[in-house]
């Protein structure tokens, strides 16, 4: 709703599962004898939860509103059951 909270907040986002299956497709290419390039595109099958600290300094009414907003954000995050990713790498073989 656009509510602005003033304070010193620290946010941390955690994957809900310790181990999650991954579906991915990748490409690897060697250039010459030593150099290589690889790319991978996929998704981890899991959801995430957002944790925020620092709201303890808010007024009682702002604290309650903040916690309600955070719970709504986490409900929205749990609607996504896959987290997309892109991995790019350059390698050199000795």
Rg (CA), the chain: 20
Which pLDDT band, with edges at 50, 70 and 90, does 2 fall under?
Answer: confident
Total-model pTM: 0.68
Please give the C-alpha separations between residue 36 and each of 26, 27, 56, 63, 89, in angstroms, as whole numbers.
13, 11, 50, 52, 8
Which pLDDT band, with edges at 50, 70 and 90, does 3 fall under?
Answer: confident
Q: What is the pLDDT of residues 44-94, one digit of tens each?
A: 999 999 999 999 889 999 999 999 999 999 999 999 889 999 999 999 999
Task: Quote the pLDDT of residue 1.
Answer: 65
Give the Cα separation of 51 and 3 in Å (integer): 18
Residue with structure tokens 């954000």?
Answer: 73
* pLDDT exceeds cutoff 90 at 36: yes
């Amino acid at each position: 709703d656009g509510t602005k909270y003033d304070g010193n907040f620290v946010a941390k986002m955690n994957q809900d599962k310790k181990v999650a299956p991954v579906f991915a497709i990748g490409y690897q290419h060697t250039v010459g004898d030593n150099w290589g390039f690889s790319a991978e595109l996929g998704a981890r099958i899991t959801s995430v939860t957002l944790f925020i600290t620092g709201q303890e300094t808010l007024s009682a009414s702002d604290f309650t509103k903040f916690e309600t907003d955070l719970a709504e954000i986490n409900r929205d995050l749990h609607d996504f059951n896959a987290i997309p990713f892109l991995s790019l790498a350059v390698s050199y073989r000795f």
